[in-house]
Chain A
Amino acid sequence: MPDSLNARLKKLIVQTLRLKDVKPEDILDDEPLFGASRFDLDSIDALELVLRLEKEFGIKIGSSEESRQALATVATLADFIRGRQPAATPDPPS
């Protein structure tokens, strides 16, 4: 059964960065999102994503190193958010 937080993050990434020809479910949990990735995203895209994540989850992603590690893959991002939000993360209202 897919991890609902991972699925939510994939949807959020596709929406925020308006990824063309990429469906949320096509993003693998452990594939690189930035740098040498198939999505052709860079640090400015990462910043836009950080802004959206902070707003969406009420978290703070501090230094650029922390941001780089957290945003490496969907799996690392989900771990980071769970670590900052021990309580269950509610799904957004549909």
Chain B
Amino acid sequence: MPPLPVITGLGFITSIGNDKATVLRSLRELRHGFEPFVFLDNPNLPVKVAGTVKDFAFPTPNWRDWTWPAAYAIDRETVRGLAPHGVYAFCAVQQALAEAGLGADDLSDGGTGLFCASAGSPLLLGQYLNDMYATRGERGNPMGIVSSIAGTLNFNLAAYYHIRGAVCGFVSACTSSSHALGYAMDEIRLGRQQRMLVVGAEDMNTESILPFASLRALSVNPDPDTASRPFDRRRDGFVGTGGAVALVVENATTARRRGAPIYAELAGWGQAGDGYNVAISHPEGRGLREAMRRALEDAQTAPSDIDYVNAHATSTPAGDRSEALALQAVFGGARPKVSSTKALTGHGLSLAGAMEAAFCALAIAGGFIPGAAHLEEPDADCARLDLPRTSLDVAPRLVLKNSSGFGGSNVCLVLRRAP
């Protein structure tokens, strides 16, 4: 039997809470993290809500103006190489390591790897390029590149924690951190690493979110209480968010040997492309359907064994419909509970998969199923899904986590309750 990967540590900086207890309460009580948000100080813009991250402030691109909760130590030599989402990530990692009972020194043994996912920081990259134009290339911030481009998370975390195992970043838009988690599972299963730190993060600002308005992907509903409503007939787009989530994934044998808490087992994963369009999901969810089947096969489980599906559903009309059809095709008569926690958090883009897989781990460990918040009237195409309106005190044993991204990239993860 190949080594079994298990989740032993979680860290959260999200719109619905900056620690495990708050996130857990938000999921159980369906408390959302949305606030009115004026992009570019322009009240004429129709997009008016965001999943804000509280207790952090990044008022300018200059790290000297940034603030974060005092509980987290980030020295100046480190922070000036970070993007805002790197600050979130350092805080989330500190939480996850504490949860897992690990010290920073435990990560530098060569048996630990690091897989990350973010789209980089459009805010800092824009600033860096503007400085370059202004000085006609004669001056530049030496930390400009490492703080801004995709990869900034793994550059910084690997250096800070002296990671000597596998280090990589994943870029597949909204499937990125699910890819990171899937490939981290493989590193454990192949025996290449004993432990993987997996981190997904995104900036929470205009520069990272508003460009999606050009695709008409963002909700223009100004009401924070209803703007994100996956599978609802009146859904009109997603609400953007950022933050960071960190997961510690370990070989079950070594985790048990050191008495680490085990939130869930990572039973399998699968991926498949739509082969269809750069920005739009296949209308019948062709790639996601195949990704789910491959994940179930990898986990050696049947659709009827799945208790809960944490859907990718972002609250866009086309995307949710596509996923609903894929779910119906895979599950047939079996009807697992389905919800999208993006109804509470918003869509975290590269962060989404890791964040929602971590929610699934909390649900498994906490013995509950998060409800489908803000759902009033399911779309006819989604009506065959079992969408609980409230969180249920039902302990799921097998959970499936879907992610879909640009280019028709699809990833499905299977999590299982530890015996």
Contact = CB atoms under 8 A, between A and B. Distances in A.
B22 interface: no
B139 A50 contact: yes
Interface string B123-142: 00000000100010001011
A38 interface: no
B139 A17 contact: no
Interface residues of B, number: 9
A54 B65 CA distance: 22
B258 interface: no
Consensus secondary structure, chain A interface: helix
Given A44-B143, A47-B141, A18 B135 contact: no
B80 A17 contact: no
B257 interface: no
Say whether chain B's binding surface is mostly helix, strand, loop, or mixed: loop
Contacts of A48: 141
Contact of B142 (A18, A47, A54): A47
A18 B80 contact: no
A59 interface: no
A24 B198 CA distance: 44
Contacts, number: 16
Contact of A17 (B64, B141, B142): B64
Nearest to A51: B139
Nearest to B135: A51
Contacts of B141: 47-48
Contacts of A44: 80, 142-143
A54 B143 contact: no
B65 A18 contact: yes
Contact of B64 (A18, A47, A50): A18
B63 to A, nearest CB: 9
Given A17-B64, A18-B64, A18-B65, A47 B139 contact: yes
A38 to B, nearest CB: 15
A48 B131 CA distance: 11
Interface string B35-74: 0000000000000000000000000000011000000000
Most central of B80, B131, B135, B139 by chain A CB within 10 Å: B139
A92 B64 CA distance: 23
Contacts of A50: 139
Contacts of A54: 135, 139
A47 B140 CA distance: 8
B154 to A, nearest CB: 21
Contacts of B64: 17-18
Nearest to B131: A51
Interface string A25-60: 000000000000000000010011011001000000
12 contacts: A17-B64, A18-B65, A44-B80, A44-B142, A47-B139, A47-B142, A48-B141, A50-B139, A51-B131, A51-B135, A51-B139, A54-B135
Q: Which 8 A-B residue pairs are closest in the complex by CB-CB distance?
A: A18-B64, A51-B139, A44-B142, A44-B80, A47-B142, A44-B143, A17-B64, A18-B65
Given A44-B80, A47-B139, 6 more contacts: A18-B64, A44-B143, A47-B141, A48-B141, A51-B131, A51-B139
Interface of A: 17-18, 44, 47-48, 50-51, 54
